Each structure stands twice: as C-alpha cells, then as structure tokens.
Chain A
Amino acid sequence: SVVRQPITNHLDSSYFGEISIGEPPQKFLVLFDTGSSNLWVPSTDCKSPACFNHAKFKPSASSTFSPGGRSCTVSYGSGSVTIALGWDTLRIQSITVTQQEFGLSQEEPTQPFYFADFDGILGMAFPSLAVGGTATALGGMLEQEQLAEPVFSFYFSRQPTYEYGGELILGGIDPRLFQGDIAWAPVTQKLYWQVALEEFAIGQSVTSWCSQGCQAIVDTGTFLLTVPQEYLESILEALGAQETSYGYAVDCADTHSKPHIAFGIGGARLALPPTAYVLNSHGYCTLAMEGTYLPSQDGQPLWILGNVFLKEYYTAFDMANSRVGFAPSA
C-alpha cells in the first residue's frame, strides 16, 4: 500500500531561504525541511487567510508551467494543506531544475501557516516520504546533475539575526563552517534522516536509557530538542527545571553552572553546553526541550535533534551513502 505521511509538522522552526519557480521566476521564501519530502508554495487559487499574507504562485504568469491534474493532501496537525500538483522550473541561485514537480496550495490551515515567516516548504527527506509519490526537489537536482556532489549541509548561526540565520550548502561541505573531523552515522530508516543514538549523557554520567538502542531524527524543520517522555522527569530533575505553562523553567542565574548534555552518535560524543539548551527570552529562561510520547517506527525511544542542536553542530547529509555527518560548528 502507499505510505502516506501525515506531516503533522508544527513548523516551529524559523529558518528559511529563497527559491524561485517559473519563467519569469516567481520568488518564495521556503523552510528547508529535512523532516519532510514535499515541495509546495502558496498559489493564487488559494483563498485561505494563510495565503493572503504570503507570496503566491500564479500559473498563468509562467510560460513553462504545466498542470499535473492531480492533487493530494499534506496533513499538518491542525488541518491539511491541499495542494494541486504541477511542473515548472525550480531555481535556487545557480541551480536550475526544469519540469520539477511541486505543489500549489489550494487551501492552508490558518494555524500555523498564517504566522509563518516563510511561504512554503521544500522537503529534503527521502523520496519514499513524499506524499502523493511526487518527485522531490533534491531528486530533480541529482537527476539533472545540478549538484557538485550528492551532499547538502546546514550551518545554523549561534547568534542568528533576521538577516543571517545560517547557511544551506547544496552540493557540498564547507570546511570553514566547522572545526575538527566530521563524525558520520548511517541512516537507519530511509524515510527521514534518522540515525542511531548510541548513548545520552548528563554531565559525566552516561544514562542507561539507550542501552537497548535509541533513534534520533535530524530535523531542520523542528526548533527544539525532543526527548522521550519517559526520560523527561529525570532530565528536568538533573537540570533543575520546573514545569510551567511557558515550558520547563530554570533560573537564568544558574545557566552556566548546569551540566553539559551529550549525544553519542557515530562513535562521537556530541555535547551541548547549557548555553545551547537554555533559552533566555527577556530574562525568562526555559529548557529548549519538549517531550514525545511516541516511539520510533521500530519501537525504540525517539529523539529529535532540531535547530537547538544543529546550531552547535554543522550537519552534512550524504545522499549517495545515506549517512549524516556532524562536526562542531565554527
């Protein structure tokens, strides 16, 4: 049967870049999301409020657009995005993919999309995850030999601003953006960029939580660190956090005295200092973490490494060898 992925992505990430579609090019800001595989942008057919305040693709204004005659539904938690499929030229700077299949949104849920700073999503996970079996943008880039190497990598700035939050490198790795060696881990399930989490440590003590194996999804479309609910209590206790309606609150004054947390992946120990996992919003400090009740597909505890983690580790995604590499960010 067809695997339909209900992307109930809550899109709390907020890093995005520019693409264009059509001839002449129509520009869009998209979330480059390693946690999904569809490419879609709002269209002039869309009458939802979420489309009013975003750029919209106008098929009749593109001389190279061809309608696909199919539509599919990408479900995003609080509602579904209905997209009509079509083909047109996708451009990302010097990269050009002709006849790239993409979605033109017909209907979008106000929440969360009305509040998004980006217009659409460019999914960068595996083709098997694409709703409607549509061709992925990365697949088109590979097929039309638009990438110097079958690799892409992300650098997220530790001090992001609206103008500069980081960089996506399509077709390679930039040694100026990281330090030391890259630790590679094989993808364990070719739907997402999912790797084995060998161990989790708080300070110097390695917990036994992953002694039977854990999985971690590397997801640029998620902002926080997601930890299995069953371990959350212990983590809050170890990090001196209290649950409030605003999240897991900690005393800002204690931030620097808190322990590092570390993830064992690909034989390396990838540590996060407290300055990475404590968010300080106008003097109110919370842990950049949330819990999940759901395990990975094979039943092992599932963690999600979102932007909070990716700011500390430059991350490379090797499509040829289905592996993910991590190195401390420059």
Chain B
Amino acid sequence: AVRISLKKGLSIRDKMRAAGVLDDFLRHIKYDPVKKYQPRQG
C-alpha cells in the first residue's frame, strides 16, 4: 500500500474569519453543510 502524508493547514473557515469575510460568505450562500450532497437531476 502507498502511504501519503497529509498536511494540516488552517481551515478555510478560520482563514476567512481572519480576513473578515466569513460571516458575509455564509450569509450570502445560505450555508448548509448538507447542500454538498444534494444531487440534482440534470
């Protein structure tokens, strides 16, 4: 088996919060973590 070492950066959320853009981003996109999994019939 092949072993790939994973790096751990800052989460995007933390970086966007630090840049002061997170709240607006989450408000704007009506964030829901499960939206990622909603397949839509093409």
| Nearest chain A residue, comparing its CB with the CB of B31 | A10
Distance (Å) between the CB of A148 and the closest chain B CB?
Answer: 5
* B41:A3 contact, CB within 8 angstroms: yes
Asked whether A95 and B5 contact (CB < 8 A) given A13-B11, A129-B39, the answer is no
B35, A77: Cβ atoms under 8 Å?
yes
Contacting residue for B8 out of A4, A94, A161, CB 8 A:
A161
**What is the bound-complex CA distance between A18 and B1, given in angstroms?**
16
Inter-subunit contact A170/B4 (CB<8 Å): yes
A7 to B33 CA separation, bound complex (whole angstroms): 11
Question: Contact partner of B35 among A6, A111, A117, A173, CB < 8 A?
Answer: A6
Among A3, A11, A165, A223, the residue within 8 A (CB) of B7 is A165
Contact partner, B4, options A163, A167, A191, A219, Cβ 8 Å: A167
For residues 1 through 37 of chain B, which have their beta carbon under 8 Å from a beta carbon of chain A? 1-13, 15-16, 19, 21, 23, 25, 28-29, 31-37
**Is B37 within 8 A of A192, CB to CB?**
yes
Contact B10 A117 (CB under 8 A): yes
Contacts A78-B29, A112-B16 given; indicate if A304 touches B34 (C-beta within 8 A): yes
Contact with B along A94-109 (1 / 0, CB 8 A): 1100000000000000
Q: Quick check: A223 and B13 within 8 Å, CB to CB?
A: yes
Contact between chains at A2 and B31 (CB < 8 Å)? no
Q: In the complex, how many angstroms separate the beta carbon of B30 from the nearest chain A beta carbon? A: 9
Residues of chain A within 8 A (CB-CB) of B28 are: 78
Give bound CA distance, A11 to B6, whole Å.
16
Flag the segment in A41-49, A234-242, A289-297 that touches B. Answer: A289-297
- Could you say which of B8, B13, B21 contacts A15, with CB atoms under 8 Å apart? B8
Collect the chain B residues with CB atoms within 8 Å of residue A36's CB: 36
- A294, B38: Cβ atoms under 8 Å? yes
The answer on a CB contact under 8 Å between B34 and A302 is yes
Q: Can you name 12 extra interface pairs (CB under 8 A) apart from A93-B4, A149-B1?
A: A5-B40, A10-B12, A10-B29, A12-B11, A16-B6, A17-B6, A32-B6, A129-B39, A174-B3, A292-B33, A294-B37, A297-B39
Question: Can you spell out 21 A-B residue pairs with CB atoms less than 8 angstroms apart?
Answer: A1-B42, A2-B41, A4-B40, A14-B12, A16-B7, A17-B6, A35-B37, A36-B36, A93-B3, A111-B21, A162-B7, A165-B7, A167-B6, A171-B1, A191-B37, A192-B37, A226-B33, A292-B32, A294-B35, A294-B37, A294-B38
Q: Which 7 A-B pairs have the closest CB atoms?
A: A165-B8, A117-B9, A172-B1, A2-B42, A160-B8, A4-B42, A171-B1
